[in-house]
Amino acid sequence: MAAYDKADLERRMAGAVESLKHDLAGLRTGRASVTLLDPVTVEVYGAHMPLVQVATVSAPEPRLLSVQVWDKSNVGPVDKAIRSAGLGLNPIVDGQTLRLPIPDLTEERRKELAKLAGKYAENARIAVRNVRRDGMDSLKTDEKKGEFGEDDRKRHEGDVQKLTDATIADIDATAAAKEKEILGK
């Protein structure tokens, strides 16, 4: 059985791109996005839970998030969790609903977010290169086992390299679009 599996490599590289898109979606660009609160965890019932498991998050206006807390006793912990998440948001408590006005981004904060977007993109590139290395290693192993000859290995290596180049180009384009959005250019 050959260790080289092109479909598996494609799936893993696509996973790196999806992970990058998810990370970038959480970066605030001055517009309200429900994914902004994805990293927030709330300490309730003696455990740390994702915010989405204790409340409904919606974006009723372009510059406002609304968090409807299901259990009244969790309003305080949710408020505290959002304030301490480092997102620069200050909730306004209104009964069981927290309103989160999205402030304008300062130029300094925009640059920080653009830098963070670049870091996310580099992590995705590293993940793709690791998948490429795994693919190349399995090709060499298969050739040593006699699964196929040197010509086939070289052809498959070319396929893996093309796949890697295309995936990294996708990562670069995604990151560039996000940085442009963050910097408002």
Residue range 103-149, pLDDT digits in tens: 777 888 788 888 888 999 999 999 999 999 999 999 999 989 888 88
* Tokens (6 digits) for 93: 């408590």
Enclosing H/E stretch for 176: helix 150-183
The per-residue pLDDT for 167 is 95
In angstroms, the CA 124 to CA 172 distance is 10
φ/ψ (deg, to 5) at 118 = -65, -40
The per-residue pLDDT for 176 is 92
The answer to whether the CB of 145 falls within 8 A of the CB of 102 is: no
**Average pLDDT for 2-12:** 85
Counted residue by residue, the chain has a size of 185
The per-residue pLDDT for 28 is 64
Nearest-10 crossing angle of helices 6-25, 107-145: 170
What residues does 57 pair with on adjacent strands?
Answer: 67
